[in-house]
Structure formats: structure tokens, C-alpha cells
Copies of this chain bind each other. A is one copy, B any other.
């Protein structure tokens, strides 16, 4: 186990009806709010009206930034910064999923910075200050509600990049599982895959001796495997939605990465794919993951991948390599059982830019850590995931 720091400063208000505490929570930090949200889903569900009413009841000024897209764009961030400055806002509230949250975070940092907020993502500037942020989560997926990270896309440059700062930890996040009842089967599947991918990126690590972290990671994977299908079959199943929602936060709040090197190769590849093809993040991850697993399986990694197969999928095979292969097959089958397409071909991508992606993600040196990936490795993952080779 490596040395680490851990702190989870975001106040989580979890459960049905917790939205009513919104006004009081914001009032601890500010009174002039930028409300960041996506499309019409929160208007359709009635959550938008509820939020606006609560803000009015607490005499909180509210300026809106709507239309934040999946794979949120730097243009929305710039727009939000302008609004905050123009109206002298002092708090950013995201209502939605990870896209609204990530956009809100980038805005909160951008307001306190004189240059262009894209500078944070290309390493030209560091986040030293930010407006306080809060969120009402409507999708169990990214974990952004309980962590300091933000990922933003720049269509002009074809980049999707992340940054982070302790200043970006939301002061509070309201997690009411009822708000996720209306999430579609496809989005529930993608969200479940996103949570599982976050766990995989931290579970498959070259660091030995992280027993407690690994068993907790398996607990989260089992939760996704149990409740992902149930939430799709019964969208208003509170038990399923609540377990997925809390797991989404726990999977990326720093707990699983304590004391270990993490991988994130699959995310790096997917971010480039999303930037070029604008596909749903969770779908991209679900398609890539089994192929990544096959690519990294070797004599060195077989033992850990066999542990995954046995502890998560109850595979009884005693040979490590064989057990690992069975675990990978189960993973692929599970994602398909959620209705996720098996290949990039199935979602209408083309092969034009696969070599470009492989070159790009390996251009900055090593990619991944569980097994460090070369250009050839990444190209093989992408081509296999395009054609569905091996499954």
C-alpha cells in the first residue's frame, strides 16, 4: 500500500425528499446563484419548478445557464463565466448529471481566473480559487458530485480533457434516488457501465497489498451487477436506484484509489473517442472495457484478473489465466445484457480515426499502469472493439 491523503469534504444529503434542504444549504455559502442544467428532463420531471420555488422562498437570486450538453463543451463554460460576472453571482448550482456538474465546476473556477477557462485543461493555468458549488444529482454515473474533477470537451481542437482541484469539491450534493426514476434504460445502462469502469480503473493496479481497497471495489462492482439490470427492468425501484446512486459517488470519491497507482487507460481512450465522435461516455467505456481487459491479460496480470473473476463473478476455475478469461467474458456478457451494443461498428462509428486516436493517447508517454499500453496495444483494442474480435 502506498502513502496517501484522503478527505471527503462534500456534504452528501441522501434520500427521498432531501431536495427540500436546498435553500438552507445554499444560504450557508451564497445568495446569488447560477443554475446550470442540461435539456428539458428536469422541466418534465418537475424538479426544475421545485428548485426555482425553493430558491425564491429563500430569497436567492437565480440566473440560468441551460442547454449544457453531454460531453459538456468549453463554450458553455465560457458562457457561464460571463453570466456569473455580469450578474455578480456567488454560487454555482448544478442540477443534472455529470455534464452539468463538470460544467458548473469549470465555470466556478473560470470566474476567478482572468484568462480563458480552457487554460486549466491544457495545463496552462492551475485552479487556485473557485466559487462554491452545489449539486442536485439526477443520474448515477460520473461521481462528479463527490469529487474535485471536471472533464470538458473542446470541439474546435477535438479534445476532451480533465482537470481537478480541491476547490472544486461540491460543498453539498443532494442525492435523491427518486430523481433517477425517469432515467431511460439506455442511460441507466451507460451510467452503470460508467460506475463499473471507475472501479476497474482503480481496482486493476500494479500496487500490491491493497486488500481493503480491492474488497471494497468488488463490493461496488457487485452492487452494479445486482442493481443495474433491476433499475432497467423496474425504473422506479427505490432499492435499486438508491444502491446505484450511492455507489456512483463512492466509486470515485477517492476511497478506492487510496494507497495505489491507478490505471485510467480506458478512460483516456474513451475521452478521445468521445471528443471525435461525441458518443455517450458510458457506452464507449462499456464497449472498450472487455477489449482492454483482453489486451492487458498476461502472465503478470492473470492473478489479479482471476481474483476479479472469482470474487465478483463467483467463477470457480482454479487456473488463473482461464479464470481471468471467464471473468472477461462475463463482463462483456453483462454489458450486452444491459442492452449496450457490443462494438463500435454497432453504434455507427467508422474506422477512419482509429490510428489517430491510438497515436494521440500514447503521444504523451506511457498510458495506463496495470499494463502500460503501447500504440500497437491501443490500436488493437480499438480495432477489436470496432469489429468485435474475440467475443
Interface residues of A (CB under 8 A from B): 1-18, 208-209, 211-212, 215-216, 218-220, 222-223, 226-227, 238-239, 242-243, 246-247, 250, 258-259
Contacts and interface: CB of A to CB of B under 8 A. Distances in A.
A18 B13 CA distance: 32
Given A223-B211, A227-B211, A259-B246, A18 B1 contact: no
B12 A7 contact: yes
A243 B209 contact: yes
Given A11-B7, A12-B5, A15-B1, A242 B259 contact: yes
A67 to B, nearest CB: 32
Q: How many copies of this chain does one complex carry?
A: 2
A6 B15 contact: no
B209 A242 contact: yes
Contacts of A219: 212, 215-216, 218-219
Contact of A226 (B15, B211, B238, B242): B211
A259 B216 CA distance: 17
A17 B3 contact: yes
A9 B6 contact: no
Contacts of A243: 1, 209, 211-212
10 contacts: A1-B15, A5-B14, A6-B14, A7-B9, A15-B259, A208-B239, A211-B222, A215-B218, A215-B219, A219-B219
A390 to B, nearest CB: 31
B9 A4 contact: no
A95 to B, nearest CB: 19
Given A222-B215, A242-B209, A259 B14 contact: yes
B5 A11 contact: yes
A144 to B, nearest CB: 16
Given A6-B14, A211-B222, A211-B243, 13 more contacts: A5-B12, A5-B14, A7-B10, A9-B9, A209-B242, A211-B227, A212-B220, A212-B223, A212-B246, A215-B222, A218-B219, A246-B258, A246-B259
A215 B311 CA distance: 12
A316 to B, nearest CB: 12
A4 B10 contact: no
Given A211-B223, A223-B215, A246-B259, A4 B8 contact: no
A274 B304 CA distance: 44
A218 B219 CA distance: 8
Contact of A247 (B2, B11, B212, B238): B212
